[in-house]
Chains A and B, each alone.
Chain A
Amino acid sequence: DSGVTQTPKHLITATGQRVTLRCSPRSGDLSVYWYQQSLDQGLQFLIQYYNGEERAKGNILERFSAQQFPDLHSELNLSSLELGDSALYFCASSVVSGSRTGELFFGEGSRLTVL
């Protein structure tokens, strides 16, 4: 158990719909990262938050948005879903010590299937 909790674990929805994925980081971790992993593909960086603020943005589509709340949990919102959005979405958190990045701890992922 990494200490990072993601919900839901599985989600099946239709094209055009909107879903929200939730992530609770490890206690004390201020940085939260979102990654997309399509079938047999790599880890595509979507977005990073640090202590409530957006820190870095990767290849995140305009249909996707995210935020980190004051209690440090994060949500990834995916709208106008397309078949190609089907993937495993990972959240990861890390502690940052004096601006040094530490180990990323990954959640179990949320598997999204768009039909």
Chain B
Amino acid sequence: GENVEQHPSTLSVQEGDSAVIKCTYSDSASNYFPWYKQELGKRPQLIIDIRSNVGEKKDQRIAVTLNKTAKHFSLHITETQPEDSAVYFCAATHNNNDMRFGAGTRLTVKP
């Protein structure tokens, strides 16, 4: 089955700086790569996703890049704000198969 590795496990940045979280996946058949944000005590919620037919996708301050050859994808958050502090999870799947998540990255944005 799919195996997703995520780095770093913790990340601390100053408000206004950028944050980058990286993930690798093992199954070359995977074609859908979502990112979820989980605030303390809450459920995970999708913030951005990308499919394998594109290399990059942006939504305001958030962007995701995908390198299919290297089997890795990254989340980029620019101009970070304190409300970006949360745990971020990457995931990978294909064709209605199980969705496997990375171990998570705890992002702290210091005011």
The interface of chain A, by Cβ under 8 A from chain B, is: 2, 31, 33, 35, 41-43, 45, 48, 50, 55-58, 90, 96, 99-101, 103-104, 106-109
Please tell me if B1 contacts chain A, counting CB pairs below 8 Å. yes
Interface size on B, residues (CB 8 A): 22
Q: How far is the CA of A41 from the CA of B32 in the complex (A)?
A: 23
Q: Which residue of B lies closest to A35 (CB)?
A: B101
Contact among A43, A100, A101, A108 for B101, CB-based, below 8 A: A43
Q: A100 to B93: give the CA distance in the assembly, Å.
A: 10
Kindly identify which residue among B1, B43, B96, B103 contacts A101, using a CB–CB cutoff of 8 Å: B96
Query: Which chain B residues have a beta carbon within 8 Å of chain A's beta carbons?
Result: 1, 32, 34, 36, 43-46, 49, 89, 93-104
B contact face: mostly helix, strand, loop, or mixed: loop
Closest to A104 in B: B99
Task: Look across to chain B and name the residue whose beta carbon is closest to the beta carbon of A47.
Answer: B98
Q: Once the chains are docked, how many angstroms separate the CA of A94 from the CA of B22?
A: 25
Q: A58-B1, A96-B96, A99-B96 are in contact. Are A45 and B45 (CB under 8 A)?
A: no
* Contact in complex: B95, A101 (CB < 8 Å): yes
A65 smallest CB distance to B (angstroms): 17
